Chain A
C-alpha cells in the first residue's frame, strides 16, 4: 500500500530519543508509570519495524475504515471564501465518523502485541471514545472510557454508541467535568493497573512516546491528501488547515507538508473570544508548562494552576495542546489562529446548506479558518481543509444554538 506513514526516521527528525520536539515534550510521569510508558515506547519501536504489524494496520485502514478517504472540492462553500478553491479531506466518512479511528486501531493492535487485555481511554466529544470502543470490540479487548459529566450531556449520542459497542462509560465529576478531568481520571486508573491495561490516549499530547506514535498513526491523512490534491489540481495547496484540540488531526494533516512551501494553519477554539477568558486557545493565550505528562503550551495562572477551558465543541475544550504543535508554533513553521464559537457555528451551517455536509463542530473551526484564509488568498488560492469528523453527534448542540424546531 502507498501510505508510508511509518516514515523512516531521518537523522535529526523529531522527537529525539528523549521525546523532545525542541523545548517541548518529554516525559513528566510518576515513577509508577515509567515502566508502562517505556513498554509502550519499546513495543511501538518494534511494531513499526515489523512488516506484519504494518500490514495488519494497513489492512484495517483499507477495508475496515474505508481508506483512502475522499477529497471533496466544495465550490459553493468556497464562494464565501474569497473565491479560493477549497478541498475537504473527508475524515468524516471514515468508519465511526472521525479521524480518531486511525489512532484507535493502531494502538489497539499495539495493546494486543503487548499482551494487554484491557483498554482505557478518555474522551471529550466522544469521537475518540467511540473509535476506541469500536477498536476494542473488533480486537476483543475490554474497554472503559472516562468522560466528563458535562460532555456526557452534550454528546449523549456518543455515550449510547459506546455502550452499544460494549464499553463501560465512567462519568467524571471532578474539576470542570470535561476532557482535562477525564484525562486525569484515566491516568489515575492506569497508575493502579498497568499490568493488564493499556491507556489508549486520543491525541498527540501526553508523555513520550504518545505524541510521536499517535502522529504516526494519523499521518496517513496528510499523505493521502497531498497525493490526491496533486492528482486533482497538479499542485500543492497554499494552505493546509485543521482544527486543534490536542492536535492529532492537525498534525496528521500537517506532517506530510512540513518540507513543502505550504502554510500550515491550526484553528484553536476561542470560545466566547480570547479576551473573554472563556476559550481553549492554548497556543494563542497560554504559557509553557507541564500538563498530562509533557511540556507544551498550557492555559494556566501565574502559579501554574491549570485554567478551565471553554469551547462549544467538547473535542477542543482542552487547556493544553500537543508538544509538536508548541514546537511548530515557537519556530514559526505553523500558524495558529483563534476561532470563536460563533465563527465556527456560522461555518458549520454554511457547509451544511451549501454542500450538504454536516461537519463536527470541532471541524467547523477549521472551516471558519478556511473562510478567513481563502479571503486572504483570493481567487487564485488553493486551500486544503481537514474535515476531521461528522456532525451527527452535534445535532442537539447545533439545534439549540440555532434555535431550530428539533431542539430538545
Chain B
C-alpha cells in the first residue's frame, strides 16, 4: 500500500487555492495515554488543522524545549510503543481523511528498521516523516524507502542554513520544507522572529515546494503574521501546553486550534 504523500501535496495546494496558509498541528502520540492522545489529535483535525504531525516520543528529545520534553516523558512512562504511534496515525487518517505525518528522532526509526518503519507507516495511511536530526547527508537510506512507499521526507532548515544546504534540502525533500522560525528548541515564544520571513524568501527563490514555518508560533496573531509569508503554519508546544496546564484539557486544545485556524485565514 502506498503512503499519502500525494494527499499532503493536494491538501497544501488546496489551501493555497483558497488563498490561505494551511494549519499543521503537532502532538506526541501516547500523551497522556494512547487513547487520549488519539482523541486529542482528532480534536485538532476537527477544529481546523489541515495536517497533523504525530510525535514519536523519545527519551532524548534534544531539539525540544521543556513542554514537549514533559509530554514525551509522560508518554514514555505510560509505555507508549511504536505500534501505538502507528495506531494513532491510522485512526487519525481513517477518521478524517486528512494527511498525517510522523515526527521522529532518527534512532527509533533506525532501530525499528528503516524499511519496516516506512512500510508500516504507509500501511497505516501516513503521509510521511519529519526527521529533525537526520541531515540530508545521512538520509539516503530513508529517502529510498520513503520514495518506494509514497511517503514525504520533510527536512527542517534553519536561519543558519547556508545557501548550499538549502539547495541540497529542496533538491532531496518532498511534501514541503519545514522552515524553523528561529534558532533554538521547540517552545512558544512571545514574538515570531524576523529571521523566519527572510528564510522563507530565500527558499522561495530556489524551490516550488510549499514552505511551512514552525517553532515558536503560539497564538492566532502570530499564526496570521506567519500566514502572510508562508504556505503553512506549524504549531506544537502551544497545543501541548493546553493539555499540560492545570485547568486546560480537550476544550482548551480545540479552542486554541480553532483560533489558529482563523489566524491562518486572516494572514
Contacts and interface: CB of A to CB of B under 8 A. Distances in A.
Interface in A1-37: 18, 26-32, 34-36
A30 B160 contact: no
A211 to B, nearest CB: 15
Interface in B17-54: none
B132 A30 contact: yes
B135 A27 contact: yes
Q: Is the interface of B mostly helix, strand, loop or mixed?
A: loop
A194 B183 contact: yes
A405 interface: no
Interface in A270-307: 287, 289-293, 298, 300, 302-307
Contacts of A291: 60, 107
A336 to B, nearest CB: 21
A184 B59 CA distance: 10
A30 B111 contact: no
B165 A31 contact: yes
B62 A306 contact: no
Interface stretch (B91-99, B151-159, B237-245, B252-260): B151-159
A302 B133 contact: no
A310 interface: no
A309 B65 CA distance: 23
B160 A32 contact: yes
A193 interface: yes
What bracket does the count of chain A residues touching chain B fall in? 35 or more
Nearest to B134: A28
B133 A191 contact: no
Contacts of A290: 106-107, 110, 133
Contacts of B183: 32, 191-195
Contact of A304 (B110, B138, B160): B110
Interface in A56-108: none
B156 A31 contact: yes
Given A27-B138, A30-B132, A188-B62, A304 B184 contact: no
Interface in B110-166: 110-112, 132-135, 137-138, 155-162, 165
A300 B161 contact: no
Given A31-B165, A32-B183, A305 B106 contact: no
Nearest to A18: B137
Contacts of B182: 192
Interface in B180-209: 180, 182-185
Interface residues of B, number: 39
A42 to B, nearest CB: 12
Contacts of B58: 304-305
Contacts of B137: 18, 27
A36 B185 contact: no
A188 B60 CA distance: 11
Nearest to A290: B107
Interface string B59-97: 111110100010000001000011000000000000000
Contacts of A180: 60
A304 B112 contact: yes
A298 B183 CA distance: 28
B267 interface: no
Given A26-B138, A31-B169, A191 B185 contact: yes
B111 A174 contact: no
Nearest to B58: A305
A32 B165 CA distance: 10
A166 interface: no
Contacts of B157: 31
Nearest to A289: B107
A248 B81 CA distance: 35
Sorted nearest first, the 9 A-B pairs with minimum C-beta distance are A304-B111, A32-B158, A192-B184, A304-B108, A304-B107, A305-B59, A290-B107, A306-B59, A35-B160
Given A31-B157, A300-B111, A303-B82, 5 more contacts: A26-B138, A29-B135, A188-B65, A191-B184, A305-B58
Interface of B: 58-63, 65, 69, 76, 81-82, 106-112, 132-135, 137-138, 155-162, 165, 169, 180, 182-185
26 contacts: A26-B138, A27-B135, A28-B134, A28-B138, A29-B133, A29-B135, A30-B135, A30-B158, A31-B135, A31-B157, A31-B161, A31-B169, A34-B165, A35-B161, A35-B165, A180-B60, A184-B60, A187-B62, A194-B160, A303-B81, A303-B112, A304-B58, A304-B111, A305-B76, A305-B108, A306-B60
